[in-house]
Structure 1
C-alpha cells in the first residue's frame, strides 16, 4: 500500500502532508471534498457515492489515493487499469470508467487511467494536485504499467468557442498564447497531449471536449 509524507507551505510555515490509499473510513470526507470541488449548479448525482468508492478500494486500491494536510483530508485522485489501444483513442469518460464505478478495471491493463482528481478549494494553494499526480506516476512505475492516461477538460474553451475550433484552442494553449485551467496544469505535471476527443463528458465549459494526455513510464 502507498504512503508518502512530506511538507507543504503556507507562506513560510511548513505543514505536514500525507498521501495514502483511501479506505472506507474516508468516504464521508471524500464525498465532502467532491461537494466543495464541484458545488451547485454541478449536479449532485455526479458526486462520488459510497458504492463507487467501495468499488475503488476493492477493485484497484493502488489507484485510490487521498491527501491530508495537518490531519485534514483535502483531496483525492482515483484511477483504474485499462487496455488502451493508441490507434483507437476515442472514448467517453462514462465508457472508460464505467461511470466512475470502474467495474471494467483490468488487473493486467497496460494503462492507468485517471478517473478523477479533486482538491478542496481552500487547499489549492499548496500544490496538492501536482503532488497527487506525481504519486500516481510512482504507482505506474511500481506496477510496471506502460503509461498513465486521462482526459483533461479544455475548461477555458467556452471563452473562445465563437472564434476558435477546439483544436485551434488547444494549439494556442500548447504554444503558450493561451492558458487553460486544466490543460496548463496537466502540462506542468509532466503530461503530454495525445488526442482531442469530442463528446467526452457533458460539460458546457469545454463544449464536451477533452484532451487525452499521457505520462509514459520511463522504464518501459
Structure 2
C-alpha cells in the first residue's frame, strides 16, 4: 500500500500533505470532491457512486490514491490495469474503465489506465494533481507495467472547433500556441499525446473528444 508525507508551499507557507490509498471510510468525501470538480454541464450521473468506489478499493487498491491535508481528503486519482495495444488506440472511457466500475481490471495487463483525477478547486494552487500523478508513476514502476495511459478532456476545444480540427488543436497546445487546462496540465506531468479519440466521453466542452496521453515506464525499454 502507498503512503507518502511531504511538504508543499502555498505563498511561502509550508503545507503538510499525505498521499495515500483511499478506503471506504473516505467515500463521502470522494463523492463530495466530484460534485465540486465536475459541476454542470458535466453529467451528474458520471460522478462516483459508492458501488464504483467499493470496486476501486476491492479490485485494485493500489490504483486508488488520495491526498489528505489536515485530516481532510482534498483530491483523488483512480487507475485500473488493462491491456493496451498502441496500434489500435480507439476506445471510449466507458470501455476502458467499465463505466468507472473497473470490473474489467486485468492483473496481467500492460498498462495502468487513469480512470479519474479530481482536485478540490480551492486546493488546485498546490499542484496536488501533479503530486498524485507522480505517485501513480511509482505504482507503474513497482508493478513493472509498460505505461500509464489515460484519455484527457479537451475543455478548451469548443472555443476553437469552428476554426481547427481536434488533432490540430492538440498539436497547438503541445507547441504552446494554445492553452488547455487539462492537456497543458498533463504535459506538465510528463505525459505525451498519442491519439485523439472521437466520442470518448460525454462532454460538451470537449465536443466528446478525448486525447490519449501516456507516460512510458523508463525501466521498461522496448
Tell me the distance in 2 between the aligned counterparts of 1:46 and 1:175.
32
Residue 20 (structure 2) pairs with residue 53 (structure 1): no
Matches of 2:208 and 2:57 in 1, distance apart?
29
Please give the residue correspondences for 1:1-220 in structure 2 after superposition, counting only pairs within 5 Å.
Answer: 1-220=1-220
Alignment: residue pair count: 220
Distance 1:24 1:187 in 2: 31
Shift of 1:174: 1.4
Q: TM-score, normalised by structure 2?
A: 0.97
Distance between the aligned counterparts of 1:14 and 1:135, measured in 2? 20
Compute the displacement of 1:66 (Å): 0.4
Q: What CA deviation, in whole Å up to 9, does each residue of 1:32-59 have, x standing for no partner?
A: 1111111234332211000000000000
Give me the whole-angstrom Cα distance separating, in 1, the residues matched to 2:113 and 2:2: 18
- Given that residues 199 and 208 in structure 1 are in contact (C-alpha distance below 8 angstroms), is that contact kept between their aligned partners in structure 2? yes
Of 168-177 and 131-140, more deviation after overlay is shown by: 168-177
- Between the aligned partners of 2:212 and 2:124, the Cα distance in structure 1 is 23
Instruction: Return 5+ residue gaps in structure 1 as ranges.
Output: none
Gaps of 5+ in 2: none
**Contact conserved, 1:197 with 1:210, CA < 8 A, in 2?**
yes
CA contact (8 A) 1:166 1:209 kept: yes
Q: Please, what TM-score do these two structures have when normalized by structure 1?
A: 0.98
RMSD: 0.8
Query: Could you tell me whether the CA contact under 8 Å between 2:42 and 2:203 is conserved in 1?
Result: no
**Do 1:15 and 1:70's aligned partners in 2 also have CA atoms closer than 8 Å?**
no
Following the alignment from structure 2 to structure 1, what is the Cα–Cα distance between the partners of residues 187 and 56? 26
In the alignment, the residues of structure 2 paired with residue 169 and residue 180 of structure 1 have an alpha-carbon distance, to the nearest angstrom, of: 9
